[in-house]
Structure 1
């Protein structure tokens, strides 16, 4: 069966659990693969790959959309609870149907090594009402561009993500050489911390599938992947950034709650105590624009 760049495939050796797209064919006949919904890159020989037909593709896409919608509705439920609490704190009469205050949600700078994933994430930010500036670049270039982008965008939240993978054949989980892009992510975090050192002045998420969680946290990230070296969904960084963006700055982001609504859970994502960045103001006027 001939295979070409752009084909959707699964791997027999992993029970066809993940849907990949072929991104490159190496001279030795191996294929470079990119997860269609997971932030994972891999290599595989021709005999390990099964090309997916349109019916199977539609079935898998429907399953993924169902999972994403479930997470979205959980997030919206959390947001409604936050809004009710804000209404109570900011309104003299809690029974009022119209809030008397305005909100300034945290702005996100999202650096992504994959343009398709970046577009998917930007659509979700828009759906959630989170202001975002997105930039696509290679993972290895992020450390060179993050400082100037921080100066230009002035965000409260920075997301550094793309593709990653851990290879046991390349070393132990404590060996940075065993990871495809974890070291590049960590370097980008360090460069960002040179610009904004304080953990609560710039909230950073860093990592992708199977990333070196401990190194990313030590580098200065507030949230990172992947504690159990598992795969994470393309939208997981968005949900974490959105939760921080809509949590008032006087409150701590509850780690359990923030992980509960992700598709990967605490095997794929973790973090440290962090404040929210939402700011509220009064009075509310029709012409108020923030």
Structure 2
């Protein structure tokens, strides 16, 4: 079957392990047809000879989607469980050990999510809404993020910043310490660097940065609180949401244990890591509900 833009495919040389969307086609100097691929569920960009690709039929896609949905629901369940425990703990403190009945309110951290992939961005926004995280999502190409980040911080004044999209490490371009061997890590690094010039303190603006196989050490070094990918593995499209949701709903007086954040993600410590960070949730009272609200 002829491969064309928009097809969902898998790579024969990788035992059909991942599904990809074909987003572009090109012809090499030797006349071979190459497809540019975006991961369907992982934040990976790749290219492949068309004769190495197999177009995946709808039945196979649906089966894989069902398996993927089960993993997502499990992570969502764990996140909601954590959130419920945090709410009960906050209720205990806000009511002085349940000694008064004054109603209180929560102000979770506001998220600004920049994504190089509009399809993944929409998936993330849907999950943010389901969890209840206040978010502004903007599609920005990875290479344009460094130039746009300061103005976006000024405009939206987020508590949490997500810088993600697609990335990939290529062995033939250099060793793992060479940023030039990565598709977009250098753009993510420069975006974090520019954001930290604007807001230097790690607890005044919490930053998640990176995608599949990104240069984790460089992202942490320039000021990201959490980043991918310590073992240069692929990360799931929704992993950034699970991380920042945990931060958004953790009280600002509490320090977040890194493992407590990673354990709810789909990739865990091989694909994600970070440093101790304070939460950003604030609790207030009294809560007054007006008829015109």
Q: Give the TM-score normalised by structure 2.
A: 0.96
Residue of structure 2 in register with 1:254 after alignment: 257
- Alignment deviations for residues 23-80 of structure 1 (CA, whole Å, 9 cap, x no partner): 1111221111000000001011122111100100110111111111110001000001
Query: CA-to-partner distance for each residue in 1:199-252, whole Å, 9 max, x for gaps?
Result: 100000000000000000011100000000000000000111111100000001
Q: Which residue of 1 aligns with 2:19?
A: 19
Instruction: Decide which of 33, 45, 50 is 1:46's aligned counterpart.
Output: 50
Aligned counterparts, 1:81-230, within 5 A: 81-92=85-96, 94=98, 100-230=103-233
Mapped to 2, the partners of 1:253 and 1:226 lie a distance apart of 20
Task: Please give the alpha-carbon distance, in whole angstroms, between the structure 2 residues aligned to 1:154 and 1:166.
Answer: 32
Q: How far apart are residue 178 of structure 1 and its match? A: 0.7
Q: Is the 8 A contact 1:87 1:99 kept in 2?
A: no
1:286, CA displacement in angstroms?
1.5
Deviations 1:105-140 (A, max 9, x none): 100000000001111111111111111111101100
Q: 1:88 to 1:218 in 2, by over 3 A?
A: same
**Alignment-derived partner of residue 75 in structure 1:** 79
Distance in 1 between the 2:206 and 2:13 partners?
A: 39
Checking the alignment, whether the CA contact within 8 Å between 1:236 and 1:263 is kept in structure 2 is yes
Query: Using the alignment, how far apart are the partners of 1:169 and 1:70 within structure 2?
Result: 37
Quote the residue 1:239 is aligned against.
242
1:160·1:205 contact (CA, 8 Å) conserved in 2?
Answer: yes
Instruction: Tell me how far apart the structure 2 counterparts of residues 64 and 234 of structure 1 sit (CA, whole Å).
Output: 11
Q: How many residues align?
A: 289
Secondary structure of 2:21's aligned partner: strand
Deviation, structure 1 residue 101: 1.2
The structure-2 alpha-carbon separation of the partners of 1:73 and 1:139, relative to structure 1 and needing over 3 Å to count, comes to same
**Structure 1 unmatched ranges of 5 or more:** none
2:102–2:286 CA contact under 8 A, matched in 1: no
- Output the TM-score relative to the length of structure 1: 0.97
From 267, 278, 281, give the equivalent of 2:281.
278
Separation (CA, whole Å) in 2 of partners of 1:231 and 1:3: 24
Task: Mark the runs of 5 or more structure 2 residues left unpaired by the alignment.
Answer: none
